[in-house]
Structure 1
Amino acid sequence: MREFDEQPSQYERYDQRYAGLPVAEVPWQEDGEPPAAGSAAWRLNASTFDDDLPDLIAESFDWFFEHVDTAKVTAIVIGGWEDSYEDDSSHIVQRLADEAGRLPGLRSLFLGAMSPEDCEISWIQQSDIAPLLEAYPKLERLEVRGGSGLRLSPVRHESLKVLRFETGGLPGEAVRGVGACELPALEHLDLWFGVGMYGGDATVGDVAGILGGGRLPRLRHLGLQNSEIQDDLAAAVAAAPVVARLETLSLAMGGITDAGVEALLSGQPLTHLRRLDLSYHGISAAMRARLTAALPGVDIDLSSPDETYVAVSE
């Protein structure tokens, strides 16, 4: 699961590739027969503005289950749905949960793969995604774009390896939910916090369950990113038990400053890291030099300097 060294973009619609597979659009509209069920990631879409798409996501689901041998499907991308800026994702979560028996091979799922041209990230209305984990005990990868209404009721899941939330405003309730989950197989966790203007009310205290690491024994990558409190998160990470087992750490996209780097250098050793991503930052040249000298064996991403704002908000 070491496939995220480069920061994924909120512009990515996953309409070409996802989870290592070429994407097949639902409903299939190209010439010829659709690909074999297990050889593609299936992208379900709906739009009230695009004449080439169904108005309702339910129509895409109906076509999918009628025309595809879904027992062999391993990856699904949910793009847009009807009025995604007003209607939340709960009906999609419920449909997927209800159809779990017809998707026994599902291992990778992206919910809300819309670019800003489709729907701004802060406008995407999400819901409680715990039913997906409950319905798919063998799911290994779950990614969600959009933070409005996003929740994760505490669950135990034995198989999940990758969990990623891309948001312009991440509710503290969602962060606490992640920390309260028992995820013994999780290797990769990314959280984009966003800004308060768009519902990003998470605090450093909300991350305590994650930083303790007790429920995440196999975590190897942690991304606490895209935050207005990036320096405070860095200070919390500096003393966090979970850090000792990490291979990669990202505090990118939030304009971390010298204060955050000072906290990192004053905390526990980070020389065991393979990679440290501090891109999109406000770190001075002197502090950059000090950091690279202190961590000579670590691949440190210090690209996009002099960016002191949250990278992704609206």
Structure 2
Amino acid sequence: MSHPRHLKESYGLPVFDFPGPDDAGSVSLPDAAAVAWRLRSDCYDGEESWPEVFARFLAAVDVPRVRAIVVGAWRQAYDTGPEEVVAALLEARDRLTSLRALFLGDMESEECEISWIRQGDVTPLLDGFPELEEFGVRGGSGLVFPPVAHRRLRALAVESGGMPAAAVRGVAASELPALERLDLWLGTAEYGGDCEIGDVARILDGDLLPGLRHLGLRNSDIQDEIAAAVASAPVVARLESLDLSMGVLTDDGATALLGGQPLTHLTSLDLHFNYLSEPLRERFREVLEPAGVALDLDPGHADEDEWDGRVWRFVAVGE
């Protein structure tokens, strides 16, 4: 099992941790536009709530020049959604005039396991910040994502151990004409990832995503079905990179992928963390490496367990 880590950068900017109240007077703050600001409370027994941290931040920096915010832990994120966080951000939107990137839920497992992070309806942030270019969310429990229209968004990521099917369908039905990068960690049914292959059909058709150049559909226990669908998906012809990593990809799905439309136009194909046999990995190398496609076929820690006469395989990030 893998665990997501804190973001190192956002919007091409290094992430800087806004100091806590005890360090506020001793830490020099960088230029407001030079970093992505990570704002976090303590999930369990912090002195401040997240809105209180945000209020200190608004008083300490040149807010109209802030370009990227990374929302870390909020109090009791395992039991409480980000409604207060969303409300605080929206209340300050008239001051955050340069905000172009926003990530919600940047927590490591020591703070809150990915499938314990309570989310909610995150789309008011897209409605409230029409100039956003990058938006990301970590955590699938309670995640709500109805269809939205956003003209400027270039990158959208949802990292989860289990993404609800309704949220997948909401993303798929959204009108995002400028979107270049889409990355969904679909997860496993054990942690609420109940989507079926039909739920990603509109993404694979690509009608609402004319600018898409990178597609990631990964960390899924239906990875074989996804690979088979991708093999004939219209969107693939205009992609530059494809990521089907971190899921339960076996020789069945990989064989369907290789037998489908050509992938030699891609600059990269990421299949790391997989359950492929070495002969099939070699077939990928023979077909794609001569065309210059960068391949990641590392099986990582994708170990099989056998119990009660059945072979069990797992996604990379679940709990």
TM over 0.5: yes
Match of residue 139 from structure 1: 132
Does residue 93 (structure 1) correspond to residue 86 (structure 2)? The answer is yes
Equivalent pairs, count = 303
Secondary structure of the equivalent of 2:175? coil
Match of residue 37 from structure 1: 32
Letter in 2 for 1:313: G
Does residue 67 (structure 1) correspond to residue 72 (structure 2)? The answer is no
Does residue 311 (structure 1) correspond to residue 306 (structure 2)? The answer is no
Match of residue 296 from structure 2: 301
How far the C-alpha of 1:55 sits from its partner, in A, is 3.2
Separation of aligned partners in 2, 1:256 and 1:219: 23
How far the C-alpha of 1:26 sits from its partner, in A, is 4.5
How far the C-alpha of 1:305 sits from its partner, in A, is 5.5
Question: Over residues 220-277 of structure 1, what are the superposed CA-to-partner deviations in whole Å (9 max), with x where a residue is unaligned?
Answer: 1101000000000001111111101101101100131111111112211111111111
- Distance change in 2, residues 1:306/1:287 (3 Å): farther
Does residue 126 (structure 1) correspond to residue 119 (structure 2)? The answer is yes
- Distance change in 2, residues 1:32/1:44 (3 Å): closer
Question: Over residues 150-175 of structure 1, what are the superposed CA-to-partner deviations in whole Å (9 max), with x where a residue is unaligned?
Answer: 12121111111111111001001111
How far the C-alpha of 1:91 sits from its partner, in A, is 2.2
Contact 2:103 2:135 in 1 (8 A): yes
Secondary structure of the equivalent of 2:167? helix
Match of residue 221 from structure 2: 228
Gaps of 5+ in 2: 303-312
Match of residue 10 from structure 2: 18
Secondary structure of the equivalent of 2:235? helix
Does residue 77 (structure 1) correspond to residue 70 (structure 2)? The answer is yes
Match of residue 212 from structure 1: 205
Does residue 195 (structure 1) correspond to residue 184 (structure 2)? The answer is no
How far the C-alpha of 1:21 sits from its partner, in A, is 2.6
How far the C-alpha of 1:287 sits from its partner, in A, is 1.1
Separation of aligned partners in 1, 2:47 and 2:10: 22
How far the C-alpha of 1:17 sits from its partner, in A, is 4.0
- Distance change in 2, residues 1:291/1:25 (3 Å): same
Task: Calculate the aligned-residue CA RMSD, in Å.
Answer: 1.7
Contact 2:43 2:111 in 1 (8 A): no
Gaps of 5+ in 1: 1-8
- Distance change in 2, residues 1:22/1:48 (3 Å): closer
Separation of aligned partners in 2, 1:154 and 1:11: 26
Secondary structure of the equivalent of 1:174? helix
Match of residue 289 from structure 1: 282
Letter in 1 for 2:232: A
Percent identity of paired positions between Structure 1 and Structure 2: 49
How far the C-alpha of 1:65 sits from its partner, in A, is 1.5
Give the TM-score of the pair, scaled to structure 1: 0.92
